[in-house]
Amino acid sequence: MTAPSARAKSGADLRIRPAGPADLDAIDAIERLSFQGDRFARRNLGRLLKSASVCVLIATAGARPAGYAALLFRKGSTRARLYSIAVDPQARGRGVADALVSAAAACALRRGADRIRLEMRPSNKAAQRLYERAGFTVFDRKPGYYEDGEDAVRMERRLSRMKAGGRGA
């Protein structure tokens, strides 16, 4: 799977594809570089990569892993949950996350979801801008959701088949 708009923006050849167990080392490294607390243990990432109810996508720029996203599905639910997204610090600011969110939306649509939800720290301004650009809006707040007591903001994006691949769809 290629993300044409992101390929044009990023200097390198940006590609997005479904991740598998062979991508564990790369995703674990990106995770460690991206989060201090609230980080996935390696064995949990391994489980995500093997689960049929999770769509894990990996972005590569040239030969280098650049980022990943994990989207969860629940039986009987049309809501997908964007569980995690992270980009290698060296690859940030070039549209990798935008491309991952677009690919996650396409994956959600293929699997029959009609919306994506996520939780986010309101202090994470890069994430907030990313999600707002991609068409997510706030619908709720969970007080004290994170380990350190910070609230979570809950965001949602409705999906439409017409706009599946586009930015802000």
Ligand X SMILES: CC(C)(COP(=O)(O)OP(=O)(O)OC[C@H]1O[C@@H](n2cnc3c(N)ncnc32)[C@H](O)[C@@H]1OP(=O)(O)O)[C@@H](O)C(=O)NCCC(=O)NCCS
Binding of ligand X at residue 42 (CB under 6 A)? no
Task: Report the residue number, 112 or 144, with the smaller CB distance to ligand X.
Answer: 144
Smallest distance, ligand X to C-beta of residue 165, A:
15
- Cα 114 to chain centroid, rounded: 17
Whether 71 contacts 82, CB under 8 Å: yes
- Residues in contact with ligand X, counted by CB under 6 A, come to a total of 19
Q: State the nearest-atom distance from the C-beta of 155 to ligand X, in Å.
A: 9
Concatenating the DSSP letter of every residue in 30-46 gives: HHHHH-SSSPPPHHHHH
Task: For residues 75 and 91, give the distance between their C-alpha atoms in angstroms, rounded to a whole number.
Answer: 34
Print the binding letters for residues 69-98 with ligand X: x by CB under 6 A, - otherwise.
----------------xxx----xxxxxxx
Residue 28 binds to ligand X (criterion: CB under 6 A): no
**Residue among 130, 153, 159, 169 that touches ligand X (CB under 6 A):** 130
Q: And the tokens for 153?
A: 């903001």
Q: Quick check: 29 binds ligand X (CB under 6 A)?
A: no
Residue 77's Cα: distance from chain center in Å? Answer: 19
**Among residues 49 and 97, whose Cβ is nearest to ligand X?**
97
Q: Distance (Å, rounded) from C-alpha 19 to C-alpha 5?
A: 21
The verdict on 7 binding ligand X (CB under 6 A) reads no
Angle between helices 24-34 and 42-50 (to 10 degrees): 130
Ramachandran region, residue 140 (left: φ > 0; alpha: ψ -120 to 50; beta: rest): beta
Least Å distance, CB 76 to ligand X, is 26
Provide the binding-site residues for ligand X, judged by CB under 6 A: 9, 34-35, 85-87, 92-98, 120, 124, 126-127, 129-130
